[in-house]
């Protein structure tokens, strides 16, 4: 909870920014892309909104995870505590904000006359996969940031690039070549597509699609945790 208070400290609207930020992002992108697209697919607004929600949670979660160790330098140097606790706390803060993101998501649906199908009940599973992925990457990024401070700037650039290589403003069926190849190895893209099928296309993804996304998320989490354990003894020395 402290992480959330620090994040919005000093702003006039405070915690309200947790809802305003994704809403304004969606409205801006919706105006832009419906203006430049010659043809708009049915429920494009909800398609866009779903992708933005997943992307925004991922972006906010990993950017917070990067500084989960360096941002708590004083505690790490003065108190003997399990270091893997800090990325978990950072991701837990993101989980609290997920409720705000999802609230905005459902709150905007009536403006586009969209009524979700029963398949929406699978959305929590998609969000759970997303949280596992965020935690795994937070373990990796937080350790890297201890040794290489430039990683925060580099990840910020990669996050911006991720928006354009993830099916948020485009449809998988409409792309080919390198963009499709990148999508196949983009774990966030697969999670976004699961959400699209559940919410927009009102269908339950096949088992292989769930397993593919699960393998990506669990795999990255496992690798991240192993890297964290391997270097945790050097963290206090380097921090």
What are the extents of the domains in the chain? 2-238
- Distance separating alpha carbons of residues 232 and 191, to the nearest angstrom: 30
DSSP structure class, residue 21: H
pLDDT at position 233 is 76
Q: Which of 133, 11, 126 is nearest to 61 (CA)?
A: 133
76-101 tens-digit pLDDT: 666 666 677 788 888 888 777 788 88
Higher-confidence residue: 40 or 182? 182
Place of tokens 């949670």: 57
Give mean pLDDT, residues 174-191. 90
Question: Two tokens at 123?
Answer: 């959305």
The mean-pLDDT minimum among 8-12, 49-53, 182-186 falls in 8-12
Under a CB-based contact definition with an 8 Å cutoff, are residues 210 and 194 in contact? Answer: yes
Higher-confidence residue: 7 or 108? 108
pLDDT at position 60 is 87
pTM for the full model? 0.86
pLDDT at position 2 is 45
**For residue 57, is pLDDT > 50?**
yes
Higher-confidence residue: 232 or 212? 212
pLDDT at position 16 is 67
Higher-confidence residue: 126 or 30? 126
């Amino acid at each position: 909870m402290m992480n959330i208070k620090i994040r919005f400290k000093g702003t006039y609207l405070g915690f309200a920014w947790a809802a305003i930020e994704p809403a304004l992002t969606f409205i801006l992108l919706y105006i832009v892309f419906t203006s430049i697209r010659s043809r708009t697919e049915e429920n494009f607004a909800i398609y866009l909104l779903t992708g933005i929600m997943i992307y925004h949670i991922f972006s906010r979660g990993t950017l917070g995870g990067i500084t989960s160790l360096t941002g708590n330098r004083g505690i790490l140097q003065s108190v003997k505590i399990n270091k893997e606790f800090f990325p978990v706390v950072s991701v837990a803060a993101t989980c609290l904000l997920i409720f705000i993101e999802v609230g905005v998501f459902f709150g905007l649906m009536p403006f586009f006359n969209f009524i979700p199908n029963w398949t929406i009940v699978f959305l929590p599973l998609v969000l759970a996969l997303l949280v596992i992925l965020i935690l795994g990457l937070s373990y990796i990024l937080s350790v890297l940031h201890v040794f290489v401070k430039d990683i925060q700037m580099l990840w910020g650039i990669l996050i911006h690039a991720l928006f354009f290589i993830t099916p948020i403003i485009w449809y998988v069926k409409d792309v080919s070549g390198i963009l499709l190849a990148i999508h196949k190895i983009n774990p966030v893209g697969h999670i976004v597509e699961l959400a699209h099928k559940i919410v927009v296309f009102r269908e339950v993804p096949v088992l292989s699609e769930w397993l593919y996304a699960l393998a990506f998320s669990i795999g990255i989490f496992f690798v991240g945790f192993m890297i964290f354990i391997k270097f945790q003894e050097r963290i206090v020395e380097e921090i």
